Structure 1
Amino acid sequence: MRRDSAYAEEQEFLERAVTRRAALIEELSAEPAGEAEDALDVARRRMVRRQLEELRRAEDGLVFGRLDGADGTIRRVGRVGLRSEDQGTGADVEPLVLDWRAPVARAFYTATAVDPQGLVRRRHIRTRDGVVTGVDDEPLDGSVGTELVGEGALLAALDQRRTGRMGTAIATLQREQDDIIRAGVTGPLIVQGGPGTGKTVVALHRVAYLLFTHQRMAERAVLVLGPSPRFLEYIGQVLPALGETAVVSATCDTLLPGVRASRAESRDVAEIKGRALWQGVLERYVTSLLPPARELKLRWAGEFHLIGAEAVRQAMGSAVRGRPYHRARKVFAELLHHLLAEAVAEQRETMLAEMEQGYEDILARIDRSARDDGPGDGRSGSDVDGVLSEEEIEDLRERIADDPAIARFVEAWWPTRDPEPLLRTLLTDRTLLAGFAPDLTAAEIDAVVTGAGGPAAGWASGDIPLLDALAALIGDRADGDDGIPGPGGEFVAERARRERGWVYGHVVVDEAQELSEMQWLMVLRRCPGRSVTAVGDIDQTEAPHRHTSWAQAVGAVFGDRWTAAELTVCYRTPREVMELTGPILVAAGSTGTPPRAVRSSGVAHWQRTVSPDRIAGEAASAVQRMRERWTGGTVGVVAPATRVEELRAAVEAGVPVVTATQAKGLEWDATLVVDPDGIAAEPRGWNGLYVAVTRCTQELGRLSPGA
Structure 2
Amino acid sequence: MSPDITDDPAETLAAERAHLAASRAALRAMREHAGSLSSDAAGDWVSQQILQALLDQRVAALADHSGTPLFFGRLDRASDDDLPATVHVGRRHVHDDRGRPLVIDWRAPISRAFYQASPADPMGVSLRRRFGYHGGDLTAYEDERLDDGGSAAGRQSRILTEEIERPRTGPMRDIVATIQPDQDEIVRSELTRTVCVQGAPGTGKTAVGLHRAAYLLFTHRERLARSGVMIVGPNRAFLSYISSVLPALGEVKVDQTTVAGLLGEYSAPEDPAVSAVKGDAKLVAVLRRALWMHIVKPTEGLLFTKGINRYRVADHEVREIVASLRGTTRYGPGRAALAQRLAHMVLVRMEQRGESPDDRVQDAVARSKPVRQLVDQVWPKLTPQQVLHRLFSDPEFLAAAAKDDLTAEEQSLLLWAKPPKSFRSAKWSAADGALMDELGDLIERTAVLGHLVVDEAQDLSAMQLRALGRRCRTGSATVLGDLAQGTTPWSARSWTEVLSHLGFEDGAVTELTLGFRVPREVLDYAARLLPSVAPGLAAPRSLRPGAGSLSVHRTPDLADSLARAAQDALSREGSIGVIVPDAWVNAASAALTGLDHRVLSADAVEDHRLLVVPATLAKGLEYDHVIVVEPADIVEAEPRGLARLYVVLTRAVTSLTVVHSRDLPEQLR
Equivalences for residues 548-563 of structure 1 within 5 A:
548-558=493-503, 560-563=505-508
Equivalent of 1:644 in 562, 582, 585: 585
Equivalent AA in structure 2 for residue 618 of structure 1: S
> Match for residue 357 of structure 1?
none
> Match for residue 262 of structure 2?
255
Equivalences for residues 667-686 of structure 1 within 5 A:
667-681=622-636, 682-686=638-642
Change (3 A) 1:523 1:23: same
* Deviation (angstroms), 1:699: 0.9
Distance 2:416 2:611 in 1: 35
Q: Deviations over 1:235-273 (max 9, x none)?
A: 1111122121331111111103xx312222222222211
Change (3 A) 1:165 1:559: closer
The answer (yes or no) to whether the contact 1:427–1:452 under 8 Å persists in 2 is no
> Match for residue 27 of structure 1?
33
> Match for residue 387 of structure 2?
422
Equivalences for residues 557-596 of structure 1 within 5 A:
557-558=502-503, 560-596=505-541
The answer (yes or no) to whether the contact 1:203–1:535 under 8 Å persists in 2 is yes
The answer (yes or no) to whether the contact 2:621–2:651 under 8 Å persists in 1 is yes
> Match for residue 704 of structure 1?
660
Q: Deviations over 1:297-348 (max 9, x none)?
A: 32413665431234324433554564332221112112222222333454xx
The answer (yes or no) to whether the contact 1:539–1:687 under 8 Å persists in 2 is yes
Equivalent of 1:176 in 177, 182, 188: 182
Distance 1:252 1:265 in 2: 17
Distance 2:476 2:183 in 1: 19
Deviates more, 1:697-706 or 1:585-594: 585-594
Equivalent AA in structure 1 for residue 383 of structure 2: D
> Match for residue 3 of structure 2?
none
Matched, 1:8 2:14: yes
Equivalent of 2:283 in 278, 281, 287: 278
Distance 2:199 2:233 in 1: 16
Equivalent AA in structure 2 for residue 67 of structure 1: L
> Match for residue 113 of structure 1?
119
Equivalent AA in structure 2 for residue 311 of structure 1: E
> Match for residue 464 of structure 1?
433
Matched, 1:166 2:172: yes
SS of match in other structure, 1:388:
coil
Change (3 A) 1:620 1:454: farther
Root-mean-square deviation (Å) = 2.8
Distance 1:79 1:575 in 2: 30
Equivalent of 2:74 in 24, 44, 66: 66
Equivalent AA in structure 1 for residue 238 of structure 2: F
The answer (yes or no) to whether the contact 1:295–1:306 under 8 Å persists in 2 is no
The answer (yes or no) to whether the contact 2:287–2:439 under 8 Å persists in 1 is yes
> Match for residue 368 of structure 1?
none
> Match for residue 405 of structure 2?
439
- Provide structure 2 residue ranges, at least 5 long, that are not aligned to the other structure: 1-6, 599-609, 664-669
Distance 1:454 1:398 in 2: 39
The answer (yes or no) to whether the contact 2:549–2:655 under 8 Å persists in 1 is yes
The answer (yes or no) to whether the contact 2:459–2:491 under 8 Å persists in 1 is no
Equivalent AA in structure 2 for residue 331 of structure 1: A
* Deviation (angstroms), 1:585: 0.8
Change (3 A) 1:35 1:646: same
Distance 1:645 1:298 in 2: 70
SS of match in other structure, 1:97:
strand
Equivalent of 2:208 in 202, 206, 218: 202
> Match for residue 338 of structure 1?
344
* Deviation (angstroms), 1:10: 0.7
SS of match in other structure, 1:173:
coil
Equivalent of 2:295 in 282, 287, 290: 290
Deviates more, 1:502-511 or 1:453-462: 453-462
The answer (yes or no) to whether the contact 2:295–2:378 under 8 Å persists in 1 is no
Matched, 1:688 2:629: no
The answer (yes or no) to whether the contact 1:158–1:697 under 8 Å persists in 2 is no
Change (3 A) 1:396 1:20: closer
Equivalent AA in structure 1 for residue 355 of structure 2: L
The answer (yes or no) to whether the contact 2:630–2:660 under 8 Å persists in 1 is yes
Q: Deviations over 1:633-686 (max 9, x none)?
A: 321122333433433443353144344432110001111111112323331222
Equivalent of 1:82 in 81, 94, 107: 94
Equivalent AA in structure 1 for residue 384 of structure 2: P
The answer (yes or no) to whether the contact 1:109–1:175 under 8 Å persists in 2 is yes
SS of match in other structure, 1:459:
coil
Equivalent AA in structure 2 for residue 676 of structure 1: P
SS of match in other structure, 2:196:
strand
> Match for residue 467 of structure 2?
522
> Match for residue 245 of structure 2?
238
Distance 2:416 2:370 in 1: 43
Change (3 A) 1:161 1:395: closer
* Deviation (angstroms), 1:47: 7.2
> Match for residue 622 of structure 1?
565
Distance 2:364 2:139 in 1: 77
Change (3 A) 1:689 1:441: same
Q: Deviations over 1:336-372 (max 9, x none)?
A: 22222333454xx3xxxxxxxxxxxxxxxxxxxxxxx
Matched, 1:506 2:473: no
The answer (yes or no) to whether the contact 2:459–2:487 under 8 Å persists in 1 is yes
Change (3 A) 1:304 1:98: same
Change (3 A) 1:36 1:293: farther
Distance 1:469 1:51 in 2: 37
Matched, 1:665 2:620: yes
The answer (yes or no) to whether the contact 1:153–1:172 under 8 Å persists in 2 is no
Equivalent AA in structure 2 for residue 664 of structure 1: K
> Match for residue 602 of structure 2?
none
SS of match in other structure, 2:239:
helix
The answer (yes or no) to whether the contact 1:640–1:660 under 8 Å persists in 2 is yes
> Match for residue 222 of structure 1?
229
Distance 2:329 2:42 in 1: 36
> Match for residue 152 of structure 1?
158
Equivalent of 1:532 in 462, 465, 477: 477
Distance 2:418 2:112 in 1: 53
* Deviation (angstroms), 1:37: 5.8
* Deviation (angstroms), 1:697: 0.6
* Deviation (angstroms), 1:147: 6.4
TM-score between the two structures when normalised by the length of structure 2? 0.87
Change (3 A) 1:145 1:453: farther
> Match for residue 61 of structure 2?
54
* Deviation (angstroms), 1:43: 10
Equivalences for residues 353-432 of structure 1 within 5 A:
387-389=354-356, 392-404=357-369, 406-432=371-397
SS of match in other structure, 1:96:
strand
* Deviation (angstroms), 1:116: 1.6
Query: Which has the higher Rg, Structure 1 or Structure 2?
Result: 1
The answer (yes or no) to whether the contact 1:21–1:82 under 8 Å persists in 2 is yes
> Match for residue 667 of structure 2?
none
Distance 2:37 2:491 in 1: 56
The answer (yes or no) to whether the contact 2:230–2:451 under 8 Å persists in 1 is yes
